[in-house]
Amino acid sequence: DAEITQSPRHKITETGRQVTLACHQTWNHNNMFWYRQDLGHGLRLIHYSYGVHDTNKGEVSDGYSVSRSNTEDLPLTLESAASSQTSVYFCASNSLNSPLHFGNGTRLTVT
């Protein structure tokens, strides 16, 4: 069955370190998204991509970057981790006229 996989499931890092969260989907979806989920804010869009080599900023993109070198993967990089980036991160994908499918998340703690 097609799926979307995030890794790692849990990560602890120190302030200032670079961190990359992986997202891999086997749906062959063109569109991929990264969200963060925090108390009182619901899911907020960080970055998204509509296809290979396409990337776009979401509403909370500062301090994050993504790259899309193939259809299956959209890694999310925190250039210099900050305590404010402690959160649960979700990757999602879809194609035109289909609902978003989410991964099971990565819990990131920045100490």
Partner 1 sequence: GESVGLHLPTLSVQEGDNSIINCAYSNSASDYFIWYKQESGKGPQFIIDIRSNMDKRQGQRVTVLLNKTVKHLSLQIAATQPGDSAVYFCADARGFQKLVFGTGTRLLVSP
The binding site for partner 1 (CB under 8 A) comprises: 31, 35, 37-45, 48, 50, 58, 88, 90, 92, 94, 96-105, 107
CB of 46 to partner 1, least distance (A): 12
Is the distance from CB of 88 to CB of 76 less than 8 angstroms? no
Pick the closer one to partner 1 by CB: 80 or 84.
84
CB-count burial class (<10 Å; 0-12, 13-18, 19+) for 23: buried
CB of 16 to partner 1, least distance (A): 25
User: Could you give the 3-state DSSP secondary structure of residue 83?
Assistant: helix
CB of 73 to partner 1, least distance (A): 17
DSSP 8-state symbol, 63 = T
Kindly calculate the radius of gyration of the chain based on its CA atoms and give it in whole angstroms: 13
Least gap, CB of 93 to partner 1 (angstroms): 11
CB-wise, 75 or 102, nearer to partner 1? 102
